[in-house]
Amino acid sequence: MAAAKKEEILAVMDVTKCLFQFTQFTVLRCVIELGIPDIVENHPGKGGVSLAELSKASGSLKPFLYRVMRFLTSRGIFKEVKMDGQDSSIGYAHTPFSRQLTKDRMAPIFLVMSSPELVSSKLSLAKVLSSKTDYSNGFEAAHGMDFWKYSAANPAFGELFANGMASTVSPRISLVLENYPTVFEGIGCVVDVGGGNAKALRMLVKACPWIVRAINFDLPHIVALADGGDDGRIEHVGGDMFVEIPHGDAILIMSVLHDWDDEACVKILKNCRDAIPKETGKVIIMDYVINHDNDNEEYRLAMDMEMLSQTINGKERNVKEWDDILKSAGFTKHTIKSIPAPVSVIEAYP
């Protein structure tokens, strides 16, 4: 076979695989909505869940469910097992992949990313790239308003988004505490800007008993739903990060700045700088840094496409771009620390 013909055949196969990535994406959303990963996780039997049991527990039609599970097991997402003594010989057990789809792990972020709102935003990217466009992002093109206004006007979606973002907090904070615990040493009061439901602060005050005060700062309608748990050190403050940020020894700002353009980031960072002591304070930024290491570069570049489809000129930045906005905001020095996660830890000092 001629080399050119072989390359063409391989190219067709690659494009075909790409075509069906969206199929897999939607089927995964289907099983999450039916609660199947959690049914498998919580089943009392050690050998797996039979097709009949899974059908009954999820309220699914057995023949159709079988086809869905056959599709997913063929991709190694669930594992097919033999069910001796059951009314069906077919059963299913978790793989490391499928276990991440439970509601206490990554199901919330998957439901956000596969929501009609965000999918339609991605389908509107051509409108954003057009030289004649009036839109700054795919979300606005799809919904007629920016992401934040839509979230405020549609509480169900706003809550879905908040829950999705919260599901990413625990693994990332855990990785920082495990791999770079000194970043939080000596901090008496920490302010989490864009802290959402305060999950990060609940983890921090538990792991860092020297933190005597933790302020969860977000928009008023978001902090109204937040829960500090039983720890009296956590308080919730509603406000606007573009106006003023509560004072503390350190400011934590996690996966927020990539939502905004450079001008907006400089404004936010100036307010962060004004909220910390000049001699001893610092701003801890947990965000994406393109080209910082090779392990998570594909993820970061994909997130850059998410920013193009969701936000008003939001983007992922490389080391130089971070350096530029931090200097413009008045910070005299900063460090960037890589951790085994898509985000890096940036410490900025006044």
Q: What positions carry a catalytic annotation? A: 258
Torsions phi, psi of 253, nearest 5?
-135, 110
Q: Tokens standing for 160?
A: 């879905």
- Rounded Cα distance between 315 and 305, Å, is 8
Bridge partner list, 347 = 284, 335
Query: Among 202, 211, 215, which residue's Cα sits nearest to residue 183?
Result: 211
Kindly report the length of the chain: 350
**Which amino acid appears at position 314 of this protein?**
G
Query: Among 308, 301, 319, 222, which residue's Cα sits nearest to residue 261?
Result: 308
Cβ-based neighbours of 98, under 8 Å, separated by 6 or more: 37, 40, 72, 77, 78, 79
- Rounded Cα distance between 2 and 13, Å, is 17
Lay out the sheet containing 49-50: strands in order across. Answer: 49-50, 90-94, 78-82
- Rounded Cα distance between 260 and 100, Å, is 29
Q: What is the DSSP string of 140-201?
A: HHHHSS-HHHHHHH-HHHHHHHHHHHHHHHHHHHHHHHHH-GGGGTT-SEEEEET-TTSHHH
